[in-house]
Amino acid sequence: MNHRKLGRTGLYVSEISLGCMAFGRWIGESESFRVLDTALEAGITLLDTADVYGRGMDLGDPSLSGESETILGKWLKGKRQQVILATKVHGRVGTGPNDRGQSRYHIMRAVEDSLRRLQTDYIDLYQVHGFDESTPLEESLEALSDLVRQGKVRYIGCSNYSAWQIAKAHGISALRHLHRYESVQPQYSLIARDIEKELLPFCRSEQVGVIVYSPLGRGLLTGKYRAGEQPPEGTRGAAGEKRLQQLMAQERNFAIVEGLKPLAENRGWTLAQFALAWVLSRPVVTSAILGASRPEHILDAVPATEYRLTKDELGAVDEICGAAGANI
Amino acid sequence: MEYRTLGKTGIQVSSLCFGTMSFGGVADEETSRAMFNRCREKGINFFDTANIYNGGRAEEILGRCLAGCRDEIVLTSKVCMPTGADVNARGLSRRHIMLSVEQSLKRLGTDRIELYFVHHFDSKTAMEETLLALDDLQRQGKILYPAVSNWAAWQIAKALGISDKRGLARFECIQPMYNLVKRQAEVEILPLAEAENIGVIPYSPLGGGLLTGKYRAGQEPTRGRLAEQKMYRERYGDAYYFEVADRFAGYAREHGHEPATLAVAWVMSHPAVTAPIIGARNPEQLEPSLAAAEIRMTPEWRSEISALSAAPPPATDRSEETPRSTGGRA
Give, for B199, the enclosing helix (H) or strand (E): strand B199-200
Whether chain A has a CB inside 8 Å of the CB on B330: the answer is: yes
Is the per-residue pLDDT at B247 higher than 90?
A: yes
Q: Mean pLDDT, to the nearest integer, of B282-292?
A: 97
Phi/psi for B176 (5° steps) reads -100, 165
More confidently predicted of A258 and B218: A258
Mutation test of the interface with chain B: which of A162, A211, A218, A247, choosing the one with the most B Cβ atoms within 10 A?
A: A162
For position A27, what pLDDT does the model report?
92
* Structural domain boundaries in chain A: 3-218+282-295
Minimal CA separation from B220 to chain A, in Å: 21
φ, ψ of residue B112 to 5 degrees: the values are: -155, 150
Is the pLDDT score of B223 beyond 80? no
Contact status, residue B280 vs residue B44, Cβ threshold 8 Å: no
**How far off is chain B from A171, nearest CA to CA, in Å?**
4
Residues of B in contact with A175 (CB under 8 A): 161, 164-165
Q: Which of B152, B165, B196 sits opposite A175 (nearest CB)?
A: B165
Helix H segments across chain B? 29-41, 57-65, 94-108, 127-140, 153-166, 189-196, 225-228, 230-236, 239-254, 259-268, 283-290, 299-306
Distance (Å) from the alpha carbon of B329 to chain A's nearest alpha carbon: 6
Over residues B142-163, mean pLDDT:
97
- Choose the catalytic residue: B3, B53, B232, B240: B53
Sites in chain A below the pLDDT cut of 50: none
Instruction: Identify which of B323, B182, B83 has the alpha carbon closest to the alpha carbon of residue A101.
Output: B323
- At residue B108 the predicted structure's pLDDT band, cuts being 50, 70 and 90, is very high
Kind of pairing between the strands at B3-5 and B12-14? antiparallel
Give the per-residue pLDDT at A328. Answer: 64
Mean local confidence (pLDDT), B6-33? 97
B145: CB partners within 8 A, 6+ apart: B9, B114, B115, B116, B138, B169, B171, B172, B173
Given a cut of 60, whether residue B47 has pLDDT beyond it is yes
Identify which of B280, B248, B253, B281 has the alpha carbon closest to the alpha carbon of residue B179.
Answer: B248
Exposed, middle or buried, A151 (CB in 10 Å: 0-12/13-18/19+)? Answer: exposed
Q: How far is CA A39 from CA A16, A51, A70, A72, in A?
A: 9, 21, 18, 13
B-chain residue closest to A95, CA distance: B330
In this model, does residue B173 exceed pLDDT 60?
Answer: yes
pLDDT for residue B229: 83
Question: d(Cα B48, Cα B50) in Å, to the nearest integer?
Answer: 7
Do the Cβ atoms of B157 and A164 come within 8 Å? yes
Please name the member of B161, B191, B315 whose beta carbon is closest to the beta carbon of A175. Answer: B161
Please answer yes or no on whether B161 and A201 come within 8 Å at the CB atom. Answer: no
Which of B46, B49, B42 shows the shortest CA–CA distance to B13? B46
- CB within 8 A of B289, min separation 6: which ones? B16, B205, B206, B260, B261, B264, B278, B279, B280
Could you give the C-alpha distances from A320 to A141, A260, A280, B177, in angstroms and in order? 42, 7, 19, 27
Mutate to test the interface with B, among A105, A168, A250 (most CBs of B within 10 A): A168
Residue B319: predicted pLDDT: 61
Does any CB of chain B come closer than 8 Å to the CB of residue A206? yes
CB A280 within 8 A of CB A290: no
Q: What is the residue-wise DSSP string for B248-267?
A: HHHHHHHTT--HHHHHHHHH
As a whole number, the mean pLDDT across chain B is 93
* Of the partner residues B162, B192, B323, the one whose CB lies closest to the CB of residue A92: B323
CB atoms A100 and B325 under 8 Å: yes
The DSSP H or E segment spanning A59 is: helix A56-59
Please spell the DSSP secondary structure of B120-157, one letter per residue: S--TTS-HHHHHHHHHHHHHHTSEEEEEEES--HHHHH
Q: How far apart are CA B171 and CA B154, in angstroms?
A: 13
pLDDT for the residue B274: 98
pLDDT score recorded for residue B228: 81
Percent of chain B with pLDDT over 70: 95
Asked whether the beta carbons of B174 and B146 are under 8 A apart, the reply is: no
**Residues β-bridged to residue A88:** A127
B149-166 residues labelled b (16+ CB within 10 A) or e (exposed): bbbbbbbbbbbbbbbeee
CATH 3.20.20.100 is held by the domain A3-218+282-295? yes
> Rounded distance, CA B231 to CA A209, Å?
35
**The pLDDT of residue A327:** 65
Task: Provide the pLDDT for residue B328.
Answer: 35
Residue ranges of E strands in chain A: 3-5, 12-14, 16-19, 46-48, 84-89, 123-128, 153-159, 181-185, 209-212, 287-290
Q: Are B155 and A167 inside 8 Å of each other by CB?
A: yes
Taking CB atoms within 8 Å and a gap of at least 24, the contacts of B188-191 are: B188/A162, B188/A163, B188/A164, B188/A198, B188/B152, B188/B153, B188/B154, B188/B315, B189/A164, B189/B153, B189/B156, B190/B270, B190/B272, B190/B273, B191/A162, B191/A164, B191/B153, B191/B272, B191/B315
Structure ipTM:
0.76
Identify the helix (H) or strand (E) that includes residue A118.
Answer: helix A104-118
Measuring CA to CA, how many Å separate B163 from each of A96, A199, B125? 39, 22, 16
Residue B320 has pLDDT above 80, yes or no: no
Whether B184 and chain A come into contact, CB under 8 Å, resolves to yes
**Is A155 part of the annotated catalytic residue set?**
no
- Which residues in chain A (51-80) have CB-CB distances under 8 A to chain B? 52, 57, 62
- pLDDT exceeds 60 at position B329: no
Position B326 confidence tier, pLDDT thresholds 50, 70, 90 = very low
* B158: nearest CB among A99, A167, A187: A167
